[in-house]
Amino acid sequence: MKTFLVAGGDMRSVSLARTLSENDMVSAIGFDGKIFDNSDIISINKASELPEKADCLVLPLPVSADGVTLNCPLCSCCPTIRELSAGIKPGGIVFGGKISPEIHRYFEEQGFAVCDYLDREELAVLNAVPTAEGAVQIAISQTDETIYGQQILITGMGRIAKVLIKILTAMGAKVTAAARKYSDLAWAEIYGCTPLNISEIDGELYKFGIIFNTVPSLIFDEERLLSLKSDCLLIDLASKPGGVDFRAAEHSCIKTIHALSLPGKTAPVTAGRIIASAIYNILEERSEHS
């Protein structure tokens, strides 16, 4: 059994703390005190208050907005990142998401191991699920037609695209998947899509009622926006700056939505569990290698 100190974050961190507490001892800092009532999780106000230092500190995603104070939207008084080190055992491990080089260096200099759970491939894979579900929800609610029977384009064949394909084909959409690599196009076809070489996308754009972009480079420039159907819905799932010229989109009549950070918005409880599972995998691997 390990001891964890979960520090700050949104509902994902609450869920993460609850998941860890099913098997291990968890303290929490940076949350409104009542959140963990009726649970085994002990809420504290200062890391130095902990009766026994924790094996692991778990920082939120993102760790901090300003590089100094902990990101804790669910608490009125936020501790600094630095003071959290008082809560960790010598040789303990610090987990976090998108840890900045400065914070990484700080904890390492204090003698702790530092692991970014966002670097884990399995977390990225599992996060594709809430992302795809959130994207499908947007598509259902922002169009006047069913997904069923709809002509849908997905650009890219990464994780999110694969999960979207699974859901949308089952819903009866006619899905075209645009990619560059022949092997990705082969997979697209095997999973029930019409494959489209992304270099030939221009001649096909007029067909689609919904487009999901997952490619993080400017695919939908002004010219391509103009070749879309006027009632096409374009959902950009690529992280900033995304794959759409949003300024040009405003001038056109095309409805565009830059849907970011969907796991935390659509399914924070699941997103927290996915992080917990990545943390356990990291611990498992460390114990195998030692």
Q: Which residues sit at the interface with its own copies, rule CB under 8 A? A: 11, 15, 120-122, 124-126, 128-130, 133-134, 136-137, 140-141, 143-149, 163, 166-167, 169-172, 181-183, 185-187, 189-192, 266-270, 281
- Token output for 86: 């008082």
Q: Could you tell me if 215 and 238 are in contact, meaning their C-beta atoms sit under 8 angstroms apart?
A: yes
| DSSP code, position 181 | S
Cα–Cα distance list, 98 to 55, 92, 102, 115, 129 (Å): 21, 19, 11, 10, 20
CB of 106 to its own copies, least distance (A): 28
Tell me the residue ranges of DSSP E strands in the chain: 3-7, 25-29, 42-44, 54-58, 88-96, 113-116, 151-155, 174-179, 194-197, 210-213, 233-236, 255-258
Crossing angle for the helix pair 121-141 and 159-170, to the nearest 10 degrees: 40
CB of 76 to its own copies, least distance (A): 23
Nearer to its own copies, 100 or 194 (CB): 194
CB of 197 to its own copies, least distance (A): 9
Nearer to its own copies, 9 or 134 (CB): 134
Cβ neighbours around 255 below 10 Å, total: 15
> Rounded to whole angstroms, how far apart are CA atoms 132 and 140?
12
CB of 11 to its own copies, least distance (A): 7
Q: Could you tell me if 165 and 154 are in contact, meaning their C-beta atoms sit under 8 angstroms apart?
A: yes
Maximum pairwise Cα distance, the chain:
66
Nearer to its own copies, 228 or 267 (CB): 267
CB of 68 to its own copies, least distance (A): 30
Nearer to its own copies, 80 or 197 (CB): 197
Nearer to its own copies, 48 or 197 (CB): 197
Nearer to its own copies, 83 or 122 (CB): 122
| DSSP code, position 242 | -
CB of 201 to its own copies, least distance (A): 16
